[in-house]
Amino acid sequence: MDEVETKLSAARTRLILDKPFLGALVLRLPMVAADPQWCQTTATDARSFYYNHDYVDALNLDQAQFVLAHEALHCALSHFARRQHRIKRNWDIACDLAVNPLLIGEGLTPPPGALLLEGFDGMTAEEIYPFIDDNFDDEPMDQHVYDEPQDSRGQGGGGHGETSQSRSVQEQQPDRRSETEPDATSGGAPQPPPLTGPERDNLSVQWQQRLAGAAQQAMQAGKLSGAMARLVDHLLQPRLPWRMLLARYMTAVARDDYTYARPSRREGSAILPSLRSSQVELTVVVDTSGSVSADEVNQFLSEVNAIKGQMRARITLHACDAALNSQGPWQFEPWEEAALPETLQGGGGTDFRPAFAWADRLDRQPDLLLYFTDAEGEFPETPPAYPVLWLVKGKATVPWASGCS
């Protein structure tokens, strides 16, 4: 074994001893020295851990632990099976921004180039993805080679090293060679082919089983952190991420659409689609009864603020427990941050009827009404004519809704 192999083996052993959950996952990825023509740092195809010899040689032992655990978590979280319609490059970035804070929270040391941004802690890749666009300049520190490489930046490339050079290596290997078979000409393994549909499905099931087994072993050893325990619980007993649902519903009511109306004669005779936009009227009601904390209300409003700027939504905000708050309502333009007053009456019982009676009397019907509540109170007998999205804290149900989280 050369020094790099020894370093990786030592890093893996330390993970098994100190972080048995991560160590058990890392053990599932055979370590393969990759051809530096396509692998500039590290990579995974959900079957193996690929590494650039010179890159790992420049890392210290703590950083080597990080890159091993980083690739293993990508696999354990089934990032290779969850991309769906999303742009590959943006999805890869979102996956790194989801994984890296978890590893830092476990006390691991990131190498240079690891993607880290404030505000994404505790969020899934699906929740982070809407915040990543083509103007995002950073790239993942590793390569996710379970998908077909994509050519342009706008289509999402696969991280560092996914160049025409790396694509040509794959094109020269049409047969499915073993990912552990070294390339005699360059001294490293060639880039593996992307996963087929059946391979992706089978690996997703395998990694879910490995995730459950690793969590059980770590729990028995008393070395499963609270953050990792919550992550495992979320993946094995999935709940719909409310931030993602909120973004989906709010974006759905945005009035950006294309029109084929005949243009002015000065613009020529061709009729081309043009973007037609108008302001969205968003009504938000927060439950200020004793069962909903101020921190939870502020977190909800921060998510609304993060999304509304993208859809040019004007917000009419009100608060209600058993009755409407006497200080409201409050209105905020798209460029203004929606917030409740610092001192706010509330803390009583819960009745939803006053809020809907008020909304029905507004001069303009809401395009969407968001209601943040624990759903334990009196509801109107019939739903209103406008769409209503309930964001429910806890396990209570609502009798009717346009959407519910």
Bigger pLDDT: 271 vs 203: 203
In this structure, the number of other CB atoms found within 10 A of the CB of residue 303 comes to 18
How confident is the model over 202-222, as a mean pLDDT? 86
Of 35-49, 195-209, 253-267, which has the strongest mean pLDDT?
35-49
- Please, are residues 362 and 386 in contact by the beta-carbon 8 Å criterion? no
Give the span between the Cα atoms of 216 and 193, in whole angstroms: 33
219: pLDDT strictly greater than 50: yes
- Give the mean pLDDT of the chain: 78
Res. 52 pLDDT band, cuts 50 70 90:
very high
The pLDDT assigned to 287 comes to 85
- Per-residue pLDDT at 400: 75
Quickly state the pLDDT bin for 251 (edges 50, 70, 90).
low
Of the chain, the end-to-end C-alpha distance in Å amounts to 53
Q: Please name every residue paired with 378 in a beta bridge, in sequence order, or none if there are none.
A: 351
Rounded Cα gap, residues 148 and 232, in angstroms: 28
Angstrom distance (rounded) from CA 136 to CA 123: 18
Most confident of 171-175, 346-350, 374-378: 374-378
Report the DSSP beta bridge partners of residue 31: 49
Structural domains in the chain, sorted by start: 3-239 (no CATH), 244-404 (3.40.50)
pLDDT of res. 44 = 95
Of 110-124, 289-303, 368-382, the poorest mean pLDDT is in 289-303
Mean pLDDT of 339-354: 76
Give mean pLDDT, residues 86-96. Answer: 92
For tokens 């390339």, the residue is 183
Sign of the C-alpha dihedral, residues 229, 231, 237, 241?
positive
Greater model confidence, 296 or 365: 365
Q: Strands 42-44, 143-144: parallel, antiparallel or unpaired by DSSP? A: parallel
Verdict on whether the full-model pTM lies above 0.95: no
pLDDT score at 310:
60
pLDDT of residue 162: 37
Q: Phi and psi (nearest 5°) for 353?
A: -65, -40
30: which 2 tokens? Answer: 């055979």
Q: What is the pLDDT of residues 353-403, one digit of tens each?
A: 999 999 998 888 888 888 888 888 889 988 888 888 888 877 777 887 654
Is residue 156 over pLDDT 50?
no
Question: Both tokens of residue 390?
Answer: 């309930």
pLDDT of 277 higher than 60: no
Q: Where are the alpha helices (DSSP H) in 77-225?
A: 88-105, 125-128, 164-171, 197-220
Question: What pLDDT, on the 0 to 100 scale, is given for residue 30?
Answer: 94
Q: pLDDT, tens digit, for every residue of 57-85?
A: 999 999 999 999 999 999 999 999 988 88
